[in-house]
Structure 1
Amino acid sequence: MKKLIEYILQFGILNSQQIKLIEKKVTELELRKDEYFSEAGKTPKQVAFIVEGIFRGCYYNNKGEEITRCFIQEKSIMCDYVNFEANAISSDYLQACTDCKLIVFSRQAWEELSNIIVGWDAIKSKMVQICMYQKSRKNPVISQDATTRYLEFIENYPSLVNRIPLTYIASYLGVTQQSLSRIRKNIS
């Protein structure tokens, strides 16, 4: 809980009573590797703070191929926020790449905090901006060669390389797992 409160306090000032209220409104959740926090075909119902673990945002293209759009790490808010706010059906998945520990706000709790805590909307807005930025695809430019894309991935996500399956990294980079293995072998 401490990590969540520290995260929130980066975006605004809350008194101890407001902090206690937030702590009462959330629940803790653990997801195992490969489980989904949010799924395509369903309406997102929760906002999560990642305490431990890594998630990936992914979807299936029109050829049925799984495409990894982004990775979301610890100390981040995570949600398919556009569909959460619109109460609409999602076309993306948020899947655990590792075993994960989350602190979760239900839709009702998220909205109630806006009605109770003065300034919560401003704090929430800043957190959501970062969440949306992380989820927007920041992947390498496909016109670059695959080795350059992988080197940029290592630079942008140094802590992920040895924590998540290569298949997810390959999907993110737009290469096959075999190509990624060759690239990794050539640069070692």
Structure 2
Amino acid sequence: MYESLFNYIKQHSKSPISADDEELIKKSFLPRGLKKKELFLEQGSICNYTGFILKGAMRQYSVDDSGTEHIIQLAIENWWMVDRESFLMKTPSVYNIDAWENTELLVLSLENLERIHTIDAIKEMFWQMNQSNFIASQKRLNYSISLPALERYEELVKNYPDFVQRFPQHTIASYLGISKETLSRVRNKYVHK
């Protein structure tokens, strides 16, 4: 169960993990399962866990006053899912997070994160993750304000091809900040390029 997590840590850090560190990590991450459409976090609640996805797919989204969902993040195996602000600041979340597919996670509380943050490999992994997340967020913001819909879709297909296969068109459209109709036209142009 923990093999994917340990592989992830090794890929994102240079420091070795001792047997004692490995046991502490196993005690700190708890297994959790979510059924499709089950909430991991509900808007207005505090995000008490960050989750490492072992199997499945999740989405983070807000809902506006008219009931329209705005996808903030999509995640699949070997990705993390959390509302960072709510998790770190212990403030009510403005987001919902749910499972798009039946999902298996390893969840980590802030208390347990602080406990394992003494492990060099964990510190390095989280530093690397934060840097990658910041860069990806900057790119996504830049794409959404500067690229036409077709180019945004091309970037998504190039960088995250699994998303296009695993999430429905309306979710992809929301993630790209376009309508379903626009996505349909964009996909048609993309296919005929």
Determine if contact 2:16/2:121 at 8 Å carries over to the other structure: no
Given the superposition, is the C-alpha separation of residues 26 and 118 from structure 1 closer, same or farther in structure 2, using an over 3 Å criterion? Answer: closer
Question: What percent of counterpart residues are identical?
Answer: 27
Q: How far apart, CA to CA, are the structure 2 residues paired with 1:41 and 1:131?
A: 28
Structure 1 counterpart of 2:52: 49
Structure 2: stretches of 5+ with no match in the other structure: none
Structure 2 distance, partners of 1:34, 1:131, is: 28
- Judge conservation of contact 2:9–2:122 (CA < 8 Å) in 1: no
The alpha carbon displacement at 1:175 in A equals 2.1
Q: Which runs of 4+ in 1 moved over 6 A?
A: none
Q: Which has the higher helix share?
A: 2
Q: Which residue number corresponds to residue 2 of structure 1?
A: 3
Moved more, 68-77 or 132-141: 132-141
Matched residue SS, 1:44: coil
What is the aligned partner in structure 1 of residue 130 from structure 2?
129
Q: Which moved more, 1:119-128 or 1:4-13?
A: 119-128
Does 2:181 match 1:178? yes
Q: 1:2 is aligned with what amino acid? A: E
Q: What does residue range 91-102 of structure 1 map to in structure 2 within 5 Å?
A: 91-102=94-105
Offset of residue 42 of structure 1: 0.6
1:167 CA displacement = 1.0
- The answer to whether the Cα contact below 8 Å between 2:57 and 2:100 also exists between their aligned partners in 1 is yes
Which TM-score applies when normalising by structure 2? 0.81
What TM-score comes out, normalization by structure 1 length? 0.83
More moved, 148-157 vs 120-129: 120-129
For the 8 Å contact 2:47–2:86, the answer to whether it is kept is yes
- In structure 1, C-alpha distance between the alignment counterparts of 2:66 and 2:187, rounded to whole Å: 27
Give the direction of change, closer, same or farther, for the CA distance of 1:161–1:94 in structure 2 (3 Å limit).
Answer: same
Structure 1: gaps spanning 5 or more residues? none
Q: Deviations over 1:14-63 (max 9, x none)?
A: 20111012112222111122222222201010111111222222113465
Closer/same/farther in 2, CA of residues 120 and 143 from structure 1, 3 Å limit: closer
**Separation (CA, whole Å) in 2 of partners of 1:8 and 1:126:** 11
Aligned partner of 2:61 in structure 1 is 58
Structure 1 range deviating more: 73-82 or 124-133: 124-133
SS of 2:162's partner is coil
Aligned position for 1:76: 79
| CA offsets 1:130-168 (integer angstroms, 9 cap, x no match) | 574388472532453322222222112112111111111
Q: Give 2:5's aligned amino acid.
A: L
Match of 1:20 in 2: 23
When the two chains are superposed, the root-mean-square deviation of aligned CA atoms in Å is: 2.6
Q: Deviations over 1:79-127 (max 9, x none)?
A: 212221111111122222222111111333223324xx44366236425
